[in-house]
Amino acid sequence: MNDKADSAAPEEIRDYIRDIIRDDLAAGRRDVIVTRFPPEPNGYLHIGHAKSICLNFGIANEFGGRCHMRFDDTNPVKEEHEYIDAIQEDVQWLGFDWGEHLYFASDHFERLYSWAEHLINAGDAYIDDLSPDEIREHRGTLIEPGRNSPFRNRLMAENLDLFRRMRAGEFPNGARVLRAKVDMASGNMNMRDPVIYRILHAAHPRTGDAWCIYPTYDFAHGQSDAIEGVTHSICTLEFEDHRPLYDWLISHLPTDMVPLQYEFSRLNLTYTVLSKRRLIQLMQEKYVRGWDDPRLPSLRGLRRRGIPPLAIRDFISRLAISKSDGVVDVALLEHCVRELLNKTAERRMAVLNPLKVVIENWPEGKIDELDAVNNPNDESAGTRRINFSGEIYIEQGDFMEEPAKKFFRLAPGREVRLRYAYFITCREAIKNEAGEVVELRCTYDPESRGGSSPDGRKVKGTLHWASAQDAISAEVRLYNHLFTSENPGAEDDVLDDLNPDSLQVLENCWLEPDLANAPLGEALQFERQGYFCPDPDSTPERPVFNRTISLRDDWARIQKQNKKS
Ligand code: ATP
Ligand code: MG
């Protein structure tokens, strides 16, 4: 894992792809840098895609070029409009803009078809009547060369006629395919006469019933790059073995544009699965609520969880762009989130597991308005007024009847500070029949208003609180990793690694009243607890908040330990 400096100026970002681009520009091989982000619209985007998005759009921005948004929509069976719209929204949410450069591989279907005929005419492609199973058998293995199909030497005219009849819909699915005539003995399986067109009688989200043959990935991706004038086609490592085919096809097609493919390693994260197939399974089998479940690494999920797009971009900017696979500690992402929210989020007080406190010497009916700081890291955020009265709530965890050794919070006879308010001393703990503490009786020191005492006496604990009279009742959802294993699915089925405690719902929380009006998308720090945001399930009567992240920073702790050892 590579942990780069926090804020390198854009022109200083260095990695092997950017170095190649600098060389290409310096040598005059390219004038304008054109990249693309090419999702297949068969699911929602996740944080792995964000790495590709930030890289492609980032490069275009840094080098004054452009990045195309291109949908790789060549498989009508799995693709849907819903995904096309959501993907665009998510890329925009991350803060990137493709301007007028929105493309679909399906925009190019007519050109791709004519290029396929071009290959046939040049003797570089043929129609194969073998069944899919027979084609597989003929392909050979990693140690054995493939065998030529008996249809490999079909006459050009017959190939052309059959291809046109495939397009006209004369044949059922799977009856024939168009294959590029490359080399059945190649050591690279992708070069063994790859299928470039298949028959699929299926309606396409964009082209409807216009086509019943569709190009494969290999005959759409590089071709779309060439048609759109993409210069650097940046993809993940699993396409490295496709590169010779990418180059072969471009060199056999009637185009002067020669895009080149470069690969980088995928993002993998601890405690996380990043695969659309897996994410779809988790949803369909109802382990999570939907694509935007805040426990998912989908961009929708991260957004609902309250993770700001800038934190994601900061996180991605700290990753190595290289050709070696690795797994990134999810604590680094969490660290980026905390670092940003610590600067930007306003502070509020919220009691999540309430314990009632009655202040016995509080003047009956009195309400005291106190000043509270909105953000100690940002003076311009100002202050707010909060009401204090004779009945408040504190956290159950802030009281111990028999305090443990290093417990400095409230206990019988002990005095603590209530944040922004007064010192209180616990006089009595009242219990229910089951022996549980249900209420505390305390007294306050009127001289300690604002949180200090004129006689200079010190208290060791400062607690947050909510005023019973005007706090609002809310539901708060606490999230933990969706998986208990660092590498889910490494040992057994992924599902066996699901964390049964990934969601904890607290129904009985008390919040500062102005939180009822917090707009969606607003991040707040609940003091001493973490960062939270309103959930779309909120209603005016009943706000619902998500915990984005707790305050404890595992990443900072790990870094400290590393320094020590
Ligand atoms: P998944 O494996 O999650 O289903 P995919 O690779 O099939 O994803 P595509 O829609 O084809 O998804 O991906 C669009 C782009 O995003 C591709 O260029 C792909 O290489 C890149 N990408 C996908 N996952 C990651 C990842 N984990 N890290 C970096 N880039 C990724
Ligand atoms: Mg893919």
Q: In 10 A of CB 563, how many CB atoms?
A: 7
- Give every CB contact of residue 556 below 8 A, 6+ residues apart in sequence: 335
Q: State the distance from the centre of ligand 1 to the C-alpha of 48, rounded, in angstroms.
A: 7
Residues shown for the chain: 565
Q: State the distance from the centre of ligand 1 to the C-alpha of 129, rounded, in angstroms.
A: 33
Local structure of 532: helix, strand or coil: strand
Q: State the distance from the centre of ligand 2 to the C-alpha of 544, rounded, in angstroms.
A: 36
Local structure of 166: helix, strand or coil: helix
Among protein residues, the one with the nearest Cα to ligand 1's atom 2 is 275
Among protein residues, the one with the nearest Cα to ligand 1's atom 13 is 39
Provide the token pair at 364: 């009956």
524-526/346-348 β-pairing: parallel
pLDDT, residue 565, reads 66
* Distance of alpha carbon 126 from alpha carbon 295, whole angstroms: 48
Q: State the distance from the centre of ligand 2 to the C-alpha of 261, rounded, in angstroms.
A: 15
Ranges of beta strands (E only) in 312-421 are: 346-348, 350-351, 354-359, 368-373, 383-388, 391-395, 415-418
Q: State the distance from the centre of ligand 1 to the C-alpha of 560, rounded, in angstroms.
A: 33
pLDDT, residue 37, reads 98
Residue 264 near residue 234 (C-beta atoms within 8 A)? yes
* Distance of alpha carbon 341 from alpha carbon 375, whole angstroms: 11
**Main-chain phi, psi angles of 560, to 5 degrees:** -60, -45
Report residues of the chain scoring pLDDT below 50: 1-9
Q: State the distance from the centre of ligand 2 to the C-alpha of 502, rounded, in angstroms.
A: 28
Which ligand lies nearest the alpha carbon of 233? 1
> Of all helices (H) and strands (E), which one includes residue 530?
strand 530-534
Among protein residues, the one with the nearest Cα to ligand 1's atom 10 is 39
Among protein residues, the one with the nearest Cα to ligand 1's atom 15 is 39
Residue 195 near residue 179 (C-beta atoms within 8 A)? yes
Which ligand lies nearest the alpha carbon of 298? 1
Q: State the distance from the centre of ligand 2 to the C-alpha of 117, rounded, in angstroms.
A: 26
Residue 127 forms beta bridges with which residues?
178
Known catalytic residue at 89: no
Atom of ligand 1 nearest to the CA of 234: 18
Q: In 10 A of CB 168, how many CB atoms?
A: 10
Atom of ligand 1 nearest to the CA of 275: 3
**Main-chain phi, psi angles of 222, to 5 degrees:** -65, -30
Q: State the distance from the centre of ligand 1 to the C-alpha of 49, rounded, in angstroms.
A: 5
Long-range contacts of 13-19 (CB under 8 A, 24+ apart): 13/58, 13/62, 13/317, 15/264, 15/320, 15/321, 15/322, 16/321, 16/322, 16/323, 17/55, 17/59, 17/232, 17/234, 17/262, 17/264, 17/321, 18/59, 18/62, 18/321
DSSP result, 135-152: HHHHT--SSS-----TTT
Local structure of 20: helix, strand or coil: helix
Residue 463 near residue 435 (C-beta atoms within 8 A)? no
Atom of ligand 1 nearest to the CA of 277: 4
Q: Which of 45, 47, 52, 57 to mutate to test the pocket of ligand 1 (most atoms within 8 A of CB)?
A: 52
- Give every CB contact of residue 411 below 8 A, 6+ residues apart in sequence: 399, 400, 401, 402, 403, 426
Place of tokens 């991260």: 302
Query: In the sheet where 213-215 sits, what is the strand order?
Result: 125-128, 177-180, 195-199, 213-215
Q: State the distance from the centre of ligand 2 to the C-alpha of 40, rounded, in angstroms.
A: 6
Residue 369 forms beta bridges with which residues?
387
Among protein residues, the one with the nearest Cα to ligand 1's atom 9 is 39
* Distance of alpha carbon 177 from alpha carbon 200, whole angstroms: 10
Q: Which of 55, 78, 230, 236 to mutate to test the pocket of ligand 1 (most atoms within 8 A of CB)?
A: 236
- Residues 246-263, buried b or exposed e (16+ Cβ, 10 A)? bebbbebbebeeebbbbb
Among protein residues, the one with the nearest Cα to ligand 1's atom 22 is 49
Which ligand lies nearest the alpha carbon of 50? 1
- Amino acid identity at 400: M
Among protein residues, the one with the nearest Cα to ligand 1's atom 29 is 266
DSSP result, 21-54: HHHHHHTTS-SS-EEEE---SSS--BHHHHHHHH
For 464-488, what is each residue's pLDDT tens digit? Answer: 999 999 999 999 999 999 999 999 9
Atom of ligand 1 nearest to the CA of 276: 4
Active-site entry in 18, 276, 304, 547: 276
Known catalytic residue at 348: no
Provide the token pair at 157: 């005219």
- Give every CB contact of residue 141 below 8 A, 6+ residues apart in sequence: none
Active-site entry in 111, 147, 154, 266: 266
Among protein residues, the one with the nearest Cα to ligand 1's atom 1 is 275
Known catalytic residue at 276: yes
Q: What is the CA radius of gyration of the chain?
A: 31
Among protein residues, the one with the nearest Cα to ligand 1's atom 3 is 275
Q: Which of 40, 45, 47, 49 to mutate to test the pocket of ligand 1 (most atoms within 8 A of CB)?
A: 49
**Main-chain phi, psi angles of 376, to 5 degrees:** -60, -20
Query: In the sheet where 66-71 sits, what is the strand order?
Result: 34-37, 66-71, 102-104
User: Largest Cα–Cα distance of the chain, in whole Å?
Assistant: 103
pLDDT, residue 562, reads 76
Q: Residues with beta carbon inside 6 Å of ligand 1?
A: 38-40, 48-49, 51-52, 235-236, 266-267, 274-277
